[in-house]
Structure 1
């Protein structure tokens, strides 16, 4: 079946450090979204990408449909970055 592999599966960051989360796709994806679920359970949409790179303060995300991956870069981690991060992908429908 089609799969999305997110790595690393778990990550602990200290304040002021940086890291990268990555999603690899087994099929060609047309768009990708990154979310953070904070410790209270609220879901926050971070990025929606059809291609290329987007920045939002200390966060930026890259998506390559051709290379079948997306990455989320967290720079200078802060306490408010705590939560569960995940990507959601949309594939092109085959007719």
Structure 2
């Protein structure tokens, strides 16, 4: 099956600090998405990437399909950034 390694598994940030989350994939992918689940349980869609880099305010995400990884950069962390972050990937169909 598909294997996704997310690191770090847990992270505590002080306000104003920067951080990088990373997902490494065992299989070739066509796209990746990043989500945040806030402390109340609401799911927030952050990014959809087929390749390259996207930015949204203090958040930036990259996806390298060749190297099979994606990163999520958080700049100047704020209280509203609290939550559980995770990535979801779409694998290429094997014929």
Deviation at 1:60?
A: 0.2
Any stretches of 5+ residues in structure 2 without a counterpart?
none
Deviation at 1:2?
A: 1.9
Matched with 2:6 is 6
**TM-score (norm: length of structure 2):** 0.98
Matched with 1:89 is 89
Deviation at 1:86?
A: 0.1
Number of residues of Structure 1 aligned to a counterpart in Structure 2: 95
| Counterpart Cα distance in 1 of 2:51 and 2:76 | 25
Deviation at 1:17?
A: 0.1
**TM-score (norm: length of structure 1):** 0.98
Deviations along 1:40-86, whole A, 9 cap, x unmatched?
A: 00000000000000000000000000000000000000000000000
Any stretches of 5+ residues in structure 1 without a counterpart?
none
Query: RMSD of the TM alignment (CA)?
Result: 0.5
Q: After TM superposition, which residue ranges in structure 1, 4 or more long, deviate above 3 angstroms?
A: none
After superposition, where does 1:1-80 map in structure 2 within 5 Å? 1-80=1-80
| Counterpart Cα distance in 2 of 1:92 and 1:61 | 20
